[in-house]
Structure 1
Amino acid sequence: MSADKIGFALLILAVLLFAGKWVRMHWRPAQKLFLPASILAGVIGLLLGPGVLGLLAQTVAGPETALADGIIPESMLNIWSELPGLLINVVFATLLLGVPLPNFKRVWNLAGPQLAFGLTLGAGQYVVGILIAALVLAPVFGLPLMAGALIEIGFEGGHGTAAGLQDVFADLGFPEGADMAVGMATVGVISGIVGGIILINWGVRNGKSEVLDKDVGEIPQNQQRGLIPKDNRPVPTGGMTVRSESIEPLTLHFAFVAMAILVGLGILESLTWIEKQTWGSGEDGMELLGAVPLFPLAMIGGLIVQQVLTRIDKNDLLDRETMLRIQGIALDILIAAAIASLSLAVIAANLAPFLLLGIAGIAWNVCLFLFLAPRVIPKYWFERGIGDLGQSMGVTATGLILMKIADPDNKTPAYEAFGYKQMAFEPLFGGGLITGISLPVIYNFGPWPLFGVMLALVVLGMGSGLFYFGKLKEQ
């Protein structure tokens, strides 16, 4: 693939992202659903590709029509399909860069209840998924038992994680799993936002919210359109910690990201080497760590780089806001590329299993929010729990959107508690180590060892929430 073709594919993807933003600004349903421009861009690309427009043109005008491959050719989609596996490393490397470690006691008091709730949500998605895979998907539809991990990969992990695991799915003989996971992530985001807004309205009407009341007005139009008013726009996108004549601040921060990824790569190579010298050696050796993707270890690399900079950098060169901008552009491109290159034929061929997993995942999350969150989170359970619900169905950004709607003026500790909880939760679920090893563990050992561990975590999360944090609430 030539550099010209790759560059042109990136240019077209950028145009689609602008088109997605234009749709968000001018199409009311997209505003009401708070759909990110990246998802809209991916959908536009998917509709203009051979799977939709091309198929429709062939049906109407025959296979020789000029639009037989759609406006976006297969060769461009092939380039886009490679981007998520690269950009997910950037997204996860930036998660902990610029995040100082806070006081443990404060973290425990604020994040403990939400960690118990979030742990139950995340681990339970494996429990539910593996049961469905073992009892229905494998015997009835002939799918691999690895399908039991699709709920957590798509819902907690989101588009980035789902697309980033594409090579792992292929290496383990389940290539269609990557498309199903990306589709599951799309279902999760949409159902998370729609369901979250429905639950917020329910909570306001029934007095569950301690911030909003029944007379609360409509969400501001600028917020629905995803715009910042002209007289309230911040000038910088991040703090400039160095003078641009010495090095562009964005360039410096990209170097920090690169170091984090390289540290993660070094960890992965070391683990792979150890595996090859021990249980992975010989013809009968078992590959486990070699199938683990790079991105969860890139997050560990970011934590290591952050701790080194904390000790040696006396000038505070790393700016967290700049790191968030790098993370944001990588995630936007990743999501658009992943959805646009999605195979609708794979989802159509596995529609019943796909719907079964999606409905089961949604039901699990909503039921836990309604019945467990108020019994686990000591105060402001509605405002704080809605963030965890959003994350468990549509990644972190969805949780933040729902918390912003439920607590628009930041009157509760929802954001702070959610952020602290993420520091312990992200390294494990939603693209963390457990997500990364789930597929190779099921492939090598079957589903039941992972099922047992996840069931134990569900019991731990639910038990600590009900009998420890719940008792604190009573006191």
Structure 2
Amino acid sequence: MNAEQIGFALLILAILLFAGKWVRMQWRPAQKLFLPASILAGVIGLLLGPGVLGSLAQMVAGPDTALAEGAIPAPMLETWSELPGLLINVVFAALFLGAPLPDFKRIWRLAGPQLAFGLTLGAGQYVVGILIAALVLAPLFGLPLMAGALIEIGFEGGHGTAAGLQDVFADLGFPEGADLAVGMATVGVVSGIVGGIILVNWGVRNGKSAVLDKDIGEIPHSQQRGLIDKTDRPVPTGGMTVRSESIEPLTLHFAFIAMAILIGLGILETLTWIEQHTWGKGKEGLELLGAVPLFPLAMIGGLIVQQILTRIDKNELMDRPTMLRIQGIALDILIASAIASLSLAAIAANLMPFILLGVAGIAWNICMFLFLAPRVIPKYWFERGIGDVGQSMGVTATGLILMKIADPDNKTPAYEAFGYKQMAFEPIFGGGLVTGISLPVIYNFGPWPLFGVMLVLVLLGVGSGLFYFGKLND
């Protein structure tokens, strides 16, 4: 790949993102499902690639036809496949930048039940996945036991985490795992939105909702199309903390992200050096940290940068909405490129294991919502629990969409509790440290140590929720 090829690949990817947005605005099913334009863009790219258009062209006109490899050249797909591993560091580095941690007692009192429920969902995905991998996938289909981590990586982690781990999958001898994880993330997002909307309708009809007393079909058409009404557009998307003649605000905020990533890289290099000179030394040494990705540590770097700026920056240079815009750009490009460069051959070759894991993950999340959430979350369990279900099956945005549908006027503490819970939850699951080390841990130690730890966490989440948080009054 040269610079021109990389630049052209980025231009075409931007066109696909616009095409995805156009589909969202014009196609009713996409509006009803609230599908992000980035997913639609990735699907369009996937359809135009060798896996779909190329295969159809070969079936119709033979292997020598002009479209035998699809309409997207191989160098472009190669460029796109590299983007997720880079951009995931930007997404996670910006996760806490500009968002000072609130009072711990407030988090504990309001978000404790949310955390107990979320912990049960996340850890349980490892428990279910490892059991399926050990009892079915490995003996019957010959898949590595690392397949037991695919549910959590794809569902809790989402497209960004799944794609960001592609190098780790390859290094550990399971390269097709990255494609399975991205496919699992797509299943999670779609099933999260579809299943979530079904659950909201069920909750309204059965009196589970505390704020909705009519059908949810009243969502404004502009919102379904993903547009902001003209009368609301003067609201700024970010604050100008510095004058642009000195430095562009976006440039300054990108510098903060760069600092966070470099700190994370320094932490990773330090840990790797320690490993090489201690337990990983010599031919018989155990290499564990060498397979850990950068993005969880970039998130820690973001926390460090935030804490430093909180203490020394008297001018409040960092603006959280601006940071979210940069994070959003990186995530859109990441998702579109990950899906467009997805290998359908890997999923087709492992279709039955893929279906088993997907169905098991969906069933776990929905069952926990129906039977555990009412007993763990003392007030507004429906509005608060639906956000965790969406987040645990797709991405944080999925949870926010479902909470917006269940509580359109923000009458419950669902958003506040969900946000606080994410601060404590994201560093662990959903692309956090546990997600980052799960594959090398299973590879080096087998599945059962991780299974045991996750089972203990499930019991901790259920027990604390039922016997402590579920009895609180907040």
TM range (shorter): over 0.9
**CA distance in 2: counterparts of 1:68 and 1:470, whole angstroms:** 58
Q: Deviations over 1:16-73 (max 9, x none)?
A: 0000000000000000000000000000000001110011011101111111111111
Q: What SS is found at the alignment partner of 2:237?
A: coil
Task: State the partner residue of 2:31.
Answer: 31
| Residues in 2 aligned to 1:272 and 1:216: alpha-carbon distance in whole angstroms | 51
Which of 463-472 and 333-342 deviates more? 463-472
Structure 2 residue matching 1:82: 3-state secondary structure: helix
2:58 matched to which residue of 1? 58
Q: SS at the partner of 2:90?
A: helix
Partners of 1:233 and 1:370 lie apart in 2 by 38
Inter-partner Cα distance in structure 2 for 1:110 and 1:147: 35
CA distance in 2, matches of 1:218, 1:236: 26
SS in structure 1 at match of 2:102: coil
Aligned position for 1:131: 131
Contact 2:268–2:294 (CA<8 Å) still a contact in 1?
yes
**Which residue type is aligned with residue 188 of structure 1?**
G
Instruction: State the partner residue of 2:394.
Output: 394
Question: Does structure 1 retain, via aligned residues, the 8 Å contact 2:201–2:216?
Answer: no
CA deviation map 1:377-433 (0-9, x unaligned)? 010000000000000000101000000111111111101000000111000000000
Contact 2:42–2:337, Cα closer than 8 Å, also in 1: yes
Question: Tell me, what secondary structure is at the counterpart of 1:357?
Answer: helix
TM-score, scaled to structure 1: 0.99
Structure 2 equivalent of residue 49 of structure 1: 49
Asked if 1:449 corresponds to 2:449, the answer is yes
- Cα deviation for residue 74 of structure 1 reads 1.7
> For 1:472 and 1:419, how far apart are their aligned partners in 2?
19
1:333 correspondence with 2:336: no
Post-superposition offset of 1:187: 0.1
Distance in 1 (CA, whole Å) between partners of 2:449 and 2:238 is: 45
Equivalent AA in structure 2 for residue 369 of structure 1:
F
Structure 2, gaps ≥5 residues long: none
Question: Which letter does structure 1 place at the counterpart of 2:355?
Answer: L
1:460 is matched with which residue? 460
1:317 corresponds to = 317
Q: In the alignment, which residue of structure 2 is the partner of 1:80?
A: 80
Listed as ranges, the matches of 1:336-347 within 5 Å are 336-347=336-347
Counterpart in the other structure of 1:277: 277
Give yes or no for the alignment of 1:153 onto 2:128.
Answer: no
Aligned residue identity for 1:345? A
**Alpha-carbon distance in structure 1 between the residues aligned to 2:215 and 2:431:** 39
Q: CA deviation at 1:460?
A: 0.2
Q: Distance in 2 between matches of 1:310 and 1:77?
A: 42
Counterpart for residue 197 of structure 1: 197
Which residue of structure 2 aligns with residue 255 of structure 1?
255
Partner secondary structure for residue 203 of structure 1: helix
Q: Return the offset for 1:332.
A: 0.1
Q: CA deviation at 1:216?
A: 5.3
Q: Which amino acid aligns with 1:404?
A: K
What residue number does 2:357 align with?
357
Where does residue 366 of structure 1 map in the other structure? Answer: 366
Residue aligning to 1:293: 293
**Secondary structure at the counterpart of residue 394 of structure 2:** helix
Aligned positions, number: 474
Instruction: Output the CA distance in 1 between the equivalents of 2:268 and 2:177.
Output: 23
Cα distance in 2 between the residues matched to 1:338 and 1:74? 15
1:202 counterpart letter in structure 2 = W
- Partner Cα distance (2:470, 2:32) in 1: 35
Distance 2:42 2:143 in 1: 27
SS in 2 for 1:310: helix
The amino acid across from 1:82 in the alignment is: E
1:415-434 matched pairs, under 5 angstroms: 415-434=415-434
What letter corresponds to residue 114 of structure 2 in structure 1? Q
Alignment check: 8 A CA contact 2:116 2:461 kept: yes
In structure 1, list runs of 5 or more residues that go unmatched. Answer: none
The residue type paired with residue 451 of structure 2 is F
SS of match in other structure, 2:231: helix
Cα 1:71/1:455, change in 2 over 3 Å: same
Other-structure match for 2:377: 377
Q: Secondary structure at the match of 1:253?
A: helix
**Deviation at residue 218 of structure 1 after TM alignment:** 2.0
Match of 1:229 in 2: 229
1:173-219, Cα deviation, whole Å (9 max, x unpaired): 00000000000000000000000000000000000000101355521
Contact map agreement 2:94 2:257 (CA 8 A) in 1: yes
- Provide the secondary structure at the position in 2 that maps to 1:245: coil
Q: Would you identify which runs of 4 or more consecutive aligned residues in structure 1 move more than 6 Å?
A: none
CA distance in 1, matches of 2:411, 2:269: 46
1:121 to 2:125 alignment? no
8 A contact 2:35–2:190 mirrored in 1: yes
Please say if residues 16 and 41 of structure 2, whose CA atoms lie closer than 8 Å, have aligned partners that are also in contact: yes
Matches of 1:74 and 1:83 in 2, distance apart?
A: 15
Structure 2 counterpart of 1:203, which letter? G
Alignment partners' CA distance in 1, 2:402 and 2:318: 29
* Contact residue 89 and residue 295 of structure 2 kept, 8 A: yes
How far, CA to CA, are the matches of 1:84 and 1:469 in structure 2? 38
CA contact (8 A) 2:137 2:353 kept: yes
Please give the alpha-carbon distance, in whole angstroms, between the structure 1 residues aligned to 2:386 and 2:436. Answer: 26
Q: 1:299 and 1:281 mapped to 2: Cα distance?
A: 28
Aligned residue number for residue 403 of structure 1: 403
Supply the AA of the counterpart residue of 2:154.
G
The corresponding residue for 1:440 is 440
3-state SS of paired residue (2:334): helix
Q: What is the alpha-carbon distance in structure 2 between the residues aligned to residue 324 and residue 22 of structure 1?
A: 23
- Is 2:216–2:405's contact at 8 Å kept on the other side of the alignment? no
C-alpha separation in 1, matches of 2:326 and 2:215: 39
Provide the C-alpha distance between the structure 2 equivalents of 1:92 and 1:29, rounded to a whole number of angstroms: 31
CA distance, structure 2, for counterparts of residue 104 and residue 31 of structure 1: 39
- Matched residue type, 1:344: L
Displacement after TM superposition at 1:236 (Å) = 2.7
Q: Percent identity?
A: 88
**1:103 alignment partner in structure 2:** 103
TM-score by length of 2: 0.99
Quick one: distance in 2 between partners of 1:26 and 1:32?
Answer: 11
Alignment partner, residue 213 of structure 2: 213
Aligned-partner Cα distance in 2 for 1:471–1:246: 54
Deviation at 1:235, TM superposition (A): 4.7
Q: State the distance in 1 between where 2:234 and 2:181 align.
A: 37
2:266 is matched with which residue?
266
C-alpha spacing 1:403/1:285, structure 2 compared with 1 (3 Å): same
Aligned amino acid, residue 184 of structure 1: M
Looking at structure 1, the residues matched to 340 and 234 of structure 2 have their Cα atoms a distance apart, in angstroms, of 32
Q: How many angstroms apart in 1 are the aligned matches of 2:470 and 2:145?
A: 36
Within the alignment, does 1:305 sit opposite 2:298 as a pair?
no
Alpha-carbon displacement from aligned partner over 1:204-251 (angstroms, at most 9, x marks no partner): 000000010135552110010000011111353200000000000000
Match of 1:238 in 2: 238
